[in-house]
């Protein structure tokens, strides 16, 4: 169901417009109040001029809003803008906003999978994503096989005639492993009945750095909580893909109610206006910090795909326009040393969140990845000496000094 006013007042977004222009102007519309900055439509329901009009809108014969669990103009602006940014010029791409990143994964799976279907998921996805596939979908008869992100033979061999979905995150958290989206799309689309979908969690790159639909992915999911907001204020999620797929997700959302609030949509939508320039800043700071750490005598190894020594560097150059804001490094002396570095910072925030203007620092083995078995930690490269930094937008020299305080104690 589309809002008449939305369609009427949407400017024609020229596909040749640059990314920054689209992230500031795309999907925007004005009400009769002629506001310059987009309005926040804080209303649960909408009114009609007559009983006949109500009937027409409810029946879908006339465009309009009914209720904010179905559609809300602030939420629609956010969906429209995200779809424009991810589509990269492709046609018939739409978005469906959700209350969180997890609700985006849940919603797309509930809408598109059924009991008996099979899923293949990369092992090192976000922890809660692993849980939802391994524990909850399993209960409803959807089985998941977990594979190593960059082992394409494992992906291919895990395919069965029942496989309906391949799910991955690239680059991976926290080691920046990079998966070849096009290659996985080929596996999904050319094995057995050719009906498997490729879903990419594009949270770490955002469309500013990577547009998986252009490499053959069918669906993108986002935790908008991270770089889309960019300032650590609220939760939100988004599903983007071809109209016929995402329409199904909209229908699920209407029924299930994991709706994004108008307020959060407005915050996230405003966040998009600075996405381009923020991502540039995150990447610049992360690259500088990675290079500095790489030369630091107290650091054993740096994991950042922007370093030419990283195993994913060449693929990242092909698939991404820059290398992102998250890096990890290893120090000698295991947990005690890693904790010393983390406990010595006075600027960075000790928290597992990411995608914030404020730099965050965490110990993956005891926080984000604490539920992995020792075997799985070893297999995924989550060592006790590993520290993850989600690099923010502070002055780079301050960030170096902040980490150096702890590193100096290790020498």
Ligand X SMILES: *Cc1c(COP(=O)(O)O)cnc(C)c1O
Contacting positions for ligand X (CB under 6 A)? 100-102, 126, 128-129, 169, 201, 203, 223, 225-226, 235, 237
Task: In angstroms, give the least distance from the CB of 368 to ligand X.
Answer: 9
Measured from the CB atom, is 201 or 248 closer to ligand X?
201
Measured from the CB atom, is 101 or 385 closer to ligand X?
101
Task: In angstroms, give the least distance from the CB of 30 to ligand X.
Answer: 30
Cβ-contact 224, 269 below 8 angstroms: no
Measured from the CB atom, is 131 or 274 closer to ligand X?
131
Separation between Cα atoms, residue 394 and residue 403, nearest integer Å: 13
DSSP run (H or E) holding 75: helix 73-87
Task: In angstroms, give the least distance from the CB of 129 to ligand X.
Answer: 6
User: What CA–CA distances, in Å, run from 57 to 47, 48, 52, 76, 212?
Assistant: 10, 9, 9, 17, 35
Task: In angstroms, give the least distance from the CB of 61 to ligand X.
Answer: 36
Measured from the CB atom, is 199 or 235 closer to ligand X?
235
Cα dihedral 334, 335, 338, 343, rounded to 10, equals -150
Task: In angstroms, give the least distance from the CB of 34 to ligand X.
Answer: 34
Task: In angstroms, give the least distance from the CB of 210 to ligand X.
Answer: 13
Cβ-contact 243, 110 below 8 angstroms: no
Task: In angstroms, give the least distance from the CB of 295 to ligand X.
Answer: 29
The residue number whose beta carbon is nearest to ligand X equals 101
Separation between Cα atoms, residue 411 and residue 408, nearest integer Å: 6
Place of tokens 């988004």: 238
Task: In angstroms, give the least distance from the CB of 9 to ligand X.
Answer: 30
Measured from the CB atom, is 202 or 285 closer to ligand X?
202
Separation between Cα atoms, residue 69 and residue 341, nearest integer Å: 46
Cβ-contact 350, 361 below 8 angstroms: yes
Measured from the CB atom, is 108 or 191 closer to ligand X?
108
Measured from the CB atom, is 142 or 220 closer to ligand X?
220
Separation between Cα atoms, residue 347 and residue 394, nearest integer Å: 9
Separation between Cα atoms, residue 19 and residue 2, nearest integer Å: 25
Residues 389, 152, 371: CA angle, nearest 5 degrees: 45
Separation between Cα atoms, residue 296 and residue 288, nearest integer Å: 13
Which residues have CB under 8 Å from 63's CB, separation 6+?
1, 2, 3, 4, 7, 57
Measured from the CB atom, is 338 or 390 closer to ligand X?
390
């Amino acid at each position: 169901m589309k809002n008449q006013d939305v369609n009427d007042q949407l400017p024609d977004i020229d596909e040749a417009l640059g990314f920054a222009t689209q992230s500031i102007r795309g999907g925007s519309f004005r009400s009769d109040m002629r506001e310059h900055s987009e309005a926040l439509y804080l209303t649960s329901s909408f009114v009609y001029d007559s009983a006949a009009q109500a009937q027409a809108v409810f029946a879908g014969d006339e465009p309009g809003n009914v209720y904010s669990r179905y559609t809300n103009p602030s939420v629609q602006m956010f969906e429209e803008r995200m779809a424009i940014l991810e589509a990269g010029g492709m046609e018939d791409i739409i978005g469906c906003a959700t209350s969180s990143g997890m609700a985006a994964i849940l919603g797309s799976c509930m809408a598109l999978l059924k009991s008996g279907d099979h899923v293949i998921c990369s092992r090192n996805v976000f922890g809660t994503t692993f849980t939802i596939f391994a524990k909850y979908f399993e209960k409803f008869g959807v089985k998941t096989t977990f594979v190593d992100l960059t082992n394409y033979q494992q992906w291919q061999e895990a395919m069965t005639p029942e496989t309906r979905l391949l799910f991955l995150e690239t680059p991976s958290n926290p080691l920046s492993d990079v998966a070849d989206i096009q290659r996985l799309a080929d596996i999904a689309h050319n094995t057995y009945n050719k009906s498997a979908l490729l879903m990419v969690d594009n949270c770490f790159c955002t469309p500013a750095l990577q547009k998986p639909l252009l490499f053959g992915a069918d669906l993108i999911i986002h935790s908008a909580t991270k770089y889309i907001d960019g300032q650590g204020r609220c939760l939100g999620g988004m599903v983007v893909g071809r109209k016929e797929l995402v329409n199904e997700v909209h229908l699920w959302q209407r029924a299930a109610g994991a709706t994004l609030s108008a307020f959060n949509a407005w915050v996230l939508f405003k966040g998009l206006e600075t996405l381009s320039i923020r991502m540039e800043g995150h990447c610049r700071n992360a690259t500088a910090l990675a290079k500095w750490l790489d030369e630091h005598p107290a650091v054993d190894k740096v994991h950042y795909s922007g370093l030419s020594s990283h195993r994913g560097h060449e693929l990242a150059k092909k698939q991404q326009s820059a290398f992102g804001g998250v890096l990890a490094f290893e120090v000698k002396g295991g947990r005690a040393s890693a904790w010393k570095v983390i406990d010595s910072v006075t600027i960075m925030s000790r928290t597992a969140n990411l995608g914030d203007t404020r730099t965050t620092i965490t110990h993956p083995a005891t926080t984000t990845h604490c539920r992995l078995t020792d075997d799985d930690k070893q297999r995924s490269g989550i060592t006790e000496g590993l520290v993850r930094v989600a690099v923010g937008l502070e002055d780079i020299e301050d960030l170096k000094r902040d980490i150096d305080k702890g590193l100096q104690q290790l020498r």
